[in-house]
Amino acid sequence: MAKHTVVTMPGDGIRNQVLPEALRVLQAVRFDAEYIHADIGWEIWRNEGNALPQRTIDLLTKHKLGLFGAITSKPNKAAQTELKPELQGKGLVYYSPIVTMRQKFNLDICMRPCPGFIGNPLNYIRKKVDGDGGKPGFDEPRIDTTVFRQGTEGMYSGIEWTNPPENVRAALATHPKFKNFATVPGPELAVSLRVITKAAARRIVTAAFEYAKRRGFKGVTICEKPNVVRETSGMMEETAKEVAKNYPGIALWSTNIDAQLMWLNKNPEDYNVIVASNLFGDILSDAFAGLIGGLGFAASGNIGDEVAVFEPTHGSAPKYAELNPPIVNPIAMILSAAMMLDHVHEDEKATRIRQAIADVVKEGKVRTYDMMRLPGGPKAIGQGAASTVKMTDAILAKLK
Ligand code: NAI
Ligand code: MG
């Protein structure tokens, strides 16, 4: 029997382009695992009216470890019209299966590392103030940021209404600030609740500090907006201050989300660990990913006490799903698999994978279309881009 069992959930779109590549790499480092396929995503919604079927939930409950590709998500109207005819008009409601999965298994620690690889032509560069000997000169600061995004609540708690029911309106009306909205007709009023709980805030901040301690970083940045969003961001920041007391050697810095997005264009190398609530963390992790190569390099883990699911942060990239040969960058998916190895304490294998990727990027001979800033499409390979499979082959060659 294999030492580990991994529930593989390819999903939609480029699923079968990227997930099998990660499995090839896991095999190459001799990760002792058995893989069980599970259904998730838009196709399953269309055919069954549920994007995260119970059998997938059961498999995750049993095996506790998941590797997920990407899903397609469309607005409500498309969700209804694309349902198979027998299921239409039955009042089925589409929910994002990844958001549901995070909530169902309390995968509240969303960890999104954004490490810059030396030699990546997409890395952030910065103009030197006084140039280089009279000529314009550039710095390429070493970025190594990991965003800890609270994964289950905040703006994504899913408690929202257009045309809130009467009792909700009545409850809202007890707040003095609601006066300004009191006369807005129901169908013209939309409300999304931003919920923060102390326990979840404590968990995400603690995860950030534990990581900083492991990596020997000097500080953790809490990125919120407590001066305006006083209650929820206030609770995040207060909790961060309390947790920080348990880590005397690590500083707690505080930034506001708007200013932080400005700072990351000026001195991104100063931020190694950032912790934020759900929406802000989502924004921050994409923003930092943009500095180190974009979606082709952005991996993530959704980690709960029992279950953990690892996935690239990119979506299903439907416009590239049918290309043959496939052209998308498999690195984000492969880095997600490496994070899964970290999680199950296969550190040496994870390190080897990351080193092999670093070697390929540094060497610069094999680059997918995104790394060459080419328009993605059927012509990319003819223009010198490596296919998805070639990129994985190059990584495998470094693992030998
Ligand atoms: P996307 O991430 O699929 O694509 C955005 C852009 O990044 C595209 O131009 C694509 O070509 C590029 N890209 C994505 N993955 C890449 C890779 N591995 N290598 C190179 N380039 C890559 O996001 P988009 O287009 O906004 O959404 C497409 C679908 O994916 C939607 O249905 C959306 O709801 C869904 N989605 C799913 C996510 C998930 O499964 N966790 C996350 C984000 C979007
Ligand atoms: Mg996102």
Q: What is the pLDDT of residues 203-215, one digit of tens each?
A: 999 999 999 999 9
In the chain, what's the furthest Cα-to-Cα distance?
Answer: 72
Distance of alpha carbon 361 from alpha carbon 358, whole angstroms: 5
HSE, CB side, 13 Å, CA atoms: give it for residue 334: 32
Q: Which atom of ligand 1 is nearest to the CA of 330?
A: 18
Q: Which atom of ligand 1 is nearest to the CA of 333?
A: 18
Q: Indicate if ligand 1 lies below 6 Å from the C-beta of 290.
A: no
Question: Which backbone phi and psi does 63 adopt, to 5 degrees?
Answer: -100, -20
Tell me what pLDDT residue 400 has: 82
What tokens were used for 304? 């709960």
Q: Whose CA is nearest to atom 40 of ligand 1?
A: 70
Q: Indicate if ligand 1 lies below 6 Å from the C-beta of 320.
A: yes
Task: For CA atoms 371, 373, 377, 378, give the dihedral sign.
Answer: negative
CA dihedral in degrees (118, 348, 311, 24; nearest 10)? 90
Helix axes 198-215, 232-244, angle to 10 degrees: 40
Tell me what pLDDT residue 40 has: 98
Ligand number nearest to the C-alpha of 336: 1
Q: Which residue has the tokens 């180190």?
A: 292
pTM of the model: 0.95
Length of the chain in terms of residues written: 400
Distance of alpha carbon 240 from alpha carbon 249, whole angstroms: 15
Question: Which backbone phi and psi does 300 adopt, to 5 degrees?
Answer: -155, 160
Ligand number nearest to the C-alpha of 280: 2
Tell me what pLDDT residue 315 has: 95
What tokens were used for 86? 């027998």
Tell me what pLDDT residue 76 has: 86
Residue type, 15: R
Q: Indicate if ligand 1 lies below 6 Å from the C-beta of 387.
A: no
Tell me what pLDDT residue 267 has: 95
Residue type, 114: C
Mean pLDDT by 10 residues, the chain (400 residues): 96 96 98 98 97 98 98 93 95 92 96 98 93 88 97 94 97 96 97 98 98 97 98 98 98 98 95 98 97 97 98 96 96 98 97 98 98 95 97 96
Burial letters for 23-42: b for 16+ Cβ neighbours within 10 Å, e otherwise? bbbbebbebebebeebbbbb
Tell me what pLDDT residue 132 has: 83
Q: Indicate if ligand 1 lies below 6 Å from the C-beta of 317.
A: yes
What tokens were used for 50? 């549920």
| Contact between 36 and 65 (Cβ < 8 Å) | no
Measured in angstroms, how far is the CA atom of residue 184 from the centroid of ligand 2?
Answer: 32
Which residues lie below 8 Å from residue 184, measured CB to CB, with a gap of 6+? none
Tell me what pLDDT residue 130 has: 85
Q: Whose CA is nearest to atom 8 of ligand 1?
A: 317
Q: What is the pLDDT of residues 128-166, one digit of tens each?
A: 988 888 888 999 999 999 999 999 999 999 899 999 999
